[in-house]
A and B are shown apart, each in its own frame.
Chain A
């Protein structure tokens, strides 16, 4: 299929879960291999994100934890096919998911978007943190008051005796 504008490839994002036993070097070699594949299809790896080890919502291949890697790349033709073939052959890959991004992919724009997104997420996280702090402080206040009440009651009891 002809590309609408020359020089622009379509973009894809692939997330894959690898076994948590897979060493960092193993992951690195895999990533290098994937970037070679991408390069052979006249594309480039736009973004690689490591989400770290996460608990899986349900066990996959008897694994409860997995290492997530998020990859954004461009390419022509059957890049996705080749990438997925590589992932499928790898014995430490539990699962992967590829999603088509734009047909005419603008990597700079995407990176900016992603950065914005992260900033927004961070901001929201901070807000949440602040709210939690506030709530905790409030609760602590209540606790202190209750403690004081307890003390008073105790004192009364002693007096009565």
Chain B
């Protein structure tokens, strides 16, 4: 009984959305309307630009590890939020650190 009710409700909703988008927006209280979708991310800032104390250095393991995934991959800019300049510097730094066995090379596990 409950399921049929739900189904009919859904059908109604779908009908409404196809008929009138604006009305659907108003009706939607669950927050999954299309307008708001994808806008959950915060604007990222480059940590090297925003913090003067945060120095990019291939000798600083702790700093390096925050920009390297657990498999040893360099975290891409779209995730870390670094600016292009610092990301470029970071890649060379990570590669130097890899050479010195401070950071691992990309491993496939095992």
A contacts, CB < 8 Å to B? 15, 17, 54, 56-58, 60, 66, 68, 70, 95, 97, 99, 117, 120-121, 123-124
Contact: A95 with B53, CB < 8 Å?
no
Question: Shortest Cβ distance from A129 into chain B, in angstroms?
Answer: 13
Q: Which residue of A lies closest to B52 (CB)?
A: A120
Provide a sorted-by-A list of 14 A–B residue pairs whose CB atoms are within 8 angstroms.
Answer: A15-B59, A17-B100, A56-B101, A57-B72, A57-B105, A58-B107, A60-B101, A95-B99, A95-B100, A95-B101, A97-B99, A99-B58, A99-B96, A120-B53
Contact status A17-B101, CB under 8 Å: yes
Q: Closest approach, in angstroms, between the C-beta of B21 and any C-beta of chain A? A: 47
Provide the bound-state CA to CA distance between A11 and B53, in Å: 23
- Is A97's CB under 8 angstroms from B101's CB? no
Query: What A residues does B103 contact at CB under 8 A?
Result: 57
Assembly CA distance A120 to B52 (angstroms): 10
Q: Say what secondary structure dominates the interface of chain A.
A: strand
B107 partner residues in chain A, CB cutoff 8 A? 58
Contact of A121 among B60, B98, B100 (CB under 8 A): B60
Are A58 and B104 CB-contacts (below 8 A) given A97-B96, A99-B96, A121-B60?
A: yes
Residue among B72, B96, B102, B107 facing the most chain A CB atoms (10 A cut-off): B102
User: Which residues on B sit within 8 Å (CB–CB) of A68?
Assistant: 100
User: How long is the Cα–Cα vector from A66 to B100 in the complex, in angstroms?
Assistant: 10
Contact B53–A15 (Cβ < 8 Å): no
B residues less than 8 Å from A58 (CB atoms): 101, 104-105, 107
